[in-house]
Chain A
């Protein structure tokens, strides 16, 4: 039971990080119909900016996180305005490949500035643990869950109560109708990319805190978040959070209870297996919108 609880907490914490990344994907997809493969690059860039702010500029940790989020929001909006805006209405593969191209460029910029080695982030939590329900839980994991909950709450409140949030929902529902109502779809697009960038910045810091440092492999965590968004449905922010948590828990439980007759490493495949099973039953994810075909 103790082992189960420990794995469950680890899974929820991992899932919270996936959820942050997944939310970034969903915010962009809902508004613009683009799956942003560069999100992993954003995540790594966010972690690196926080690293520089903490270690080179000697800023306090919370400020460094905020700066990472703000800068990434700016990067997101810039990429939207300079590249993605010209590709509205292009085929799916084009959009995927453009964001992959951007990902490759961001990777190389990261590599050029910060190099390939593992850099210690310098977060205040380090390896300390607290005891919850009789099992030790890492403090960074508690923070990861808490901050994700706050980010999700803020985001949902934003969609619900602010003018821009409502405009974003309207655009997601029907672009032309939103335009006709006087909503600036351009600004909605830019704002979506900015929000996704900020989420990626936060996710990057949390992932780096978990991995004890920043290295280029952080980008790969974003790849593991793909099953989460597909699981939840590409259009649903709530689905992204639930998908992230499910994938995180599933991954940790497989790693902990992997049967002996199967070779090691199953936990990296499990997210995709869960995803494929769900897709075969519901091809648009658990909370996605069924696609209506019109001829």
Chain B
């Protein structure tokens, strides 16, 4: 280990992959991110903060899905159902029983984890296409349960889901620090992105230690993993539990941001669309990367908002209903959805490693400069 060069070297050190901060650059980056985290809510207006809060919620769910799909290799289209489990756990314990934040949020994770544990065993018998379609079935069962369980979900009209967000003295609903008071959205952005950070740290620590390596062995070849002594039952089921627990945490926070939730949002066809968004996040961000999940969440749930906002203030060619005077032909909503589909196809065709792959390519180019490889 004498004289090991960290930054300028192209060689990958085994040890580096296991470290939380492979180089001092990562620590610098972390400090920069903390500054951005603190400063952003002070700079942006409320509409953008709302977008940012939703991106944060999505990032938590996407990290969970990436642990399941990116690291353990189990395809799932059921993420939306587990979001619903979380939202209604929060609505029940947080709103109806009025329990504090530090109680209902962990309960969301527990409820989601239990629901995931029910689905997990299917993964032991099924794989690939069959598994994906069974998780599609989960959405329909969830829709049936959510729509009919009136006392919990409020039936078709929906229910109030704005669970309390008070931690000790700090009420993020109406944040006051010293003489300063902040809006609900500012508070929520701080709260949600702090949770994103905790979840990302947790996920990073899982994947760089023993269980993470076992999960990746299952992904790469489950029979081979079984032969070298990785318990398939244990790791496949725990990946499902982990992913659904995180989805449920995201769901609980989704309820807080949304305040009111209608039960058909999580099941059936709308649920499929929601699940697809989560899969798109990890594909755009990069399968098997934690940072990629967060970037993917920012892009997939942020981009439509950005386009909508831009179109409401400027004149885009061919777009109908934007601020400019020219008559358009395409509705903004249609355009957004089309771009979403296009983004998925384009990334899978041209950069299957996602934005994380793009970043890697750029970094390698500069590390190797002036040589091309």
Task: Please measure, in the bound complex, the distance between the C-alpha atom of A268 and the C-alpha atom of B142, giving whole angstroms.
Answer: 11
Q: Nearest chain-B residue to A110 (Cβ)?
A: B334
Task: Please measure, in the bound complex, the distance between the C-alpha atom of A280 and the C-alpha atom of B134, giving whole angstroms.
Answer: 11
Identify whether the interface residues of B are mostly helix, strand, loop, or mixed. Answer: helix
Q: Which B residues are CB-close (under 8 A) to A163?
A: none
Check B349 for interface membership: any CB of A closer than 8 A. Answer: yes
Q: Which A residues are CB-close (under 8 A) to B352?
A: 90, 94
Contacts A96-B132, A283-B125: A83 and B345 contacting too (C-beta < 8 A)? Answer: yes
Stretch of B9-17, B53-61, B335-343 contacting A (4+ beta carbons < 8 Å): B335-343
User: From residue 246 to 270 of chain A, which have CB atoms closer than 8 A to chain B?
Assistant: 263-266, 268-269
Task: Please measure, in the bound complex, the distance between the C-alpha atom of A220 and the C-alpha atom of B272, giving whole angstroms.
Answer: 11
User: From residue 245 to 301 of chain B, which have CB atoms closer than 8 A to chain A?
Assistant: 268-269, 272, 276, 279-280, 283
Q: Are A92 and B349 interface neighbours, CB within 8 A?
A: no
User: From residue 179 to 218 of chain A, which have CB atoms closer than 8 A to chain B?
Assistant: none
- Return A208 CB to nearest CB of chain B, in Å: 18
Task: Please measure, in the bound complex, the distance between the C-alpha atom of A98 and the C-alpha atom of B341, giving whole angstroms.
Answer: 8
Q: Are A283 and B334 interface neighbours, CB within 8 A?
A: no
Contacts A87-B349, A263-B148, A283-B130: A112 and B334 contacting too (C-beta < 8 A)? Answer: yes
Stretch of A16-24, A62-70, A99-107, A131-139 contacting B (4+ beta carbons < 8 Å): A99-107
> Which of A83, A97, A112, A276 lies in contact with B134, CB distance below 8 A?
A276
Task: Please measure, in the bound complex, the distance between the C-alpha atom of A276 and the C-alpha atom of B135, giving whole angstroms.
Answer: 10
Q: Are B134 and A100 interface neighbours, CB within 8 A?
A: no
Check A1 for interface membership: any CB of B closer than 8 A. Answer: no
Check A35 for interface membership: any CB of B closer than 8 A. Answer: yes
Task: Please measure, in the bound complex, the distance between the C-alpha atom of A161 and the C-alpha atom of B121, giving whole angstroms.
Answer: 43
Check A13 for interface membership: any CB of B closer than 8 A. Answer: no
Task: Please measure, in the bound complex, the distance between the C-alpha atom of A264 and the C-alpha atom of B144, giving whole angstroms.
Answer: 9
Q: Are A107 and B337 interface neighbours, CB within 8 A?
A: yes
Q: Are B341 and A293 interface neighbours, CB within 8 A?
A: no
Q: What 1/0 mask marks residues of chain A from 106 to 123 whose CB sits below 8 Å from any chain B CB?
A: 011101100000000000
Check A230 for interface membership: any CB of B closer than 8 A. Answer: yes
- Return B151 CB to nearest CB of chain A, in Å: 12
Question: Interface size on B (CB < 8 Å)?
Answer: 47
Q: Nearest chain-A residue to B77 (Cβ)?
A: A96
Contacts A87-B348, A87-B349, A276-B134: A35 and B129 contacting too (C-beta < 8 A)? Answer: yes
Q: Which A residues are CB-close (under 8 A) to B272?
A: 223
Check A279 for interface membership: any CB of B closer than 8 A. Answer: yes
Check B224 for interface membership: any CB of A closer than 8 A. Answer: yes
User: From residue 315 to 373 of chain B, which have CB atoms closer than 8 A to chain A?
Assistant: 329-331, 334-335, 337-338, 340-345, 348-349, 352
Q: Which A residues are CB-close (under 8 A) to B122?
A: 276, 279-280
Check B206 for interface membership: any CB of A closer than 8 A. Answer: no
- Return B218 CB to nearest CB of chain A, in Å: 14
Q: Are B341 and A272 interface neighbours, CB within 8 A?
A: no
Q: What 1/0 mask marks residues of chain A from 57 to 94 whose CB sits below 8 Å from any chain B CB?
A: 00000000000000000000000000100110011111
User: From residue 112 to 149 of chain B, which have CB atoms closer than 8 A to chain A?
Assistant: 122, 125-126, 128-130, 132-134, 136-137, 140-141, 143-144, 147-148
Q: Are A279 and B224 interface neighbours, CB within 8 A?
A: no
- Return B354 CB to nearest CB of chain A, in Å: 11
Q: Are B75 and A223 interface neighbours, CB within 8 A?
A: no
Check A275 for interface membership: any CB of B closer than 8 A. Answer: yes
Q: Which A residues are CB-close (under 8 A) to B276?
A: 97, 100, 104
Q: Nearest chain-A residue to B221 (Cβ)?
A: A295
Q: Which B residues are CB-close (under 8 A) to A102?
A: 341, 345
Q: Are B125 and A92 interface neighbours, CB within 8 A?
A: no
> Which of B268, B279, B338, B349 lies in contact with A108, CB distance below 8 A?
B338
Q: Which B residues are CB-close (under 8 A) to A107?
A: 337, 341
Q: Are A101 and B345 interface neighbours, CB within 8 A?
A: yes
User: From residue 1 to 26 of chain A, which have CB atoms closer than 8 A to chain B?
Assistant: none
Q: Which B residues are CB-close (under 8 A) to A283?
A: 125-126, 130
Q: Nearest chain-A residue to B341 (Cβ)?
A: A104
Q: Which B residues are CB-close (under 8 A) to A269?
A: 140-141, 143-144
Check A234 for interface membership: any CB of B closer than 8 A. Answer: yes
- Return A70 CB to nearest CB of chain B, in Å: 25
Q: Are B341 and A108 interface neighbours, CB within 8 A?
A: yes
Contacts A96-B129, A97-B348, A234-B129: A104 and B337 contacting too (C-beta < 8 A)? Answer: yes
Q: Are B337 and A108 interface neighbours, CB within 8 A?
A: yes
Q: Which A residues are CB-close (under 8 A) to B69?
A: 93
Q: Which A residues are CB-close (under 8 A) to B344?
A: 97-98, 100-101, 104
Q: Are B141 and A93 interface neighbours, CB within 8 A?
A: no
Q: Are B334 and A92 interface neighbours, CB within 8 A?
A: no
Task: Please measure, in the bound complex, the distance between the C-alpha atom of A111 and the C-alpha atom of B335, giving whole angstroms.
Answer: 11
Q: Are A279 and B341 interface neighbours, CB within 8 A?
A: no
Q: Nearest chain-A residue to B342 (Cβ)?
A: A105
> Which of B129, B137, B227 lies in contact with A276, CB distance below 8 A?
B137
Q: Are B337 and A94 interface neighbours, CB within 8 A?
A: no
User: From residue 39 to 76 of chain B, which have CB atoms closer than 8 A to chain A?
Assistant: 69, 73, 75
Residues of B within 8 A of A (CB): 69, 73, 75, 122, 125-126, 128-130, 132-134, 136-137, 140-141, 143-144, 147-148, 221, 223-224, 227, 268-269, 272, 276, 279-280, 283, 329-331, 334-335, 337-338, 340-345, 348-349, 352
> Can you list 7 A-B pairs with a CB-CB distance of less than 8 A?
A29-B129, A35-B132, A107-B341, A108-B335, A108-B341, A268-B140, A275-B137
14 new A-B contacts at CB < 8 Å, known A87-B349, A94-B348, A234-B130 = A35-B133, A83-B349, A97-B280, A104-B338, A105-B341, A107-B337, A112-B334, A223-B272, A268-B140, A268-B143, A273-B141, A276-B122, A295-B221, A295-B227
**10 smallest beta-carbon distances between A and B, as pairs:** A104-B341, A101-B344, A272-B137, A263-B148, A101-B345, A105-B341, A108-B338, A92-B128, A93-B75, A101-B341
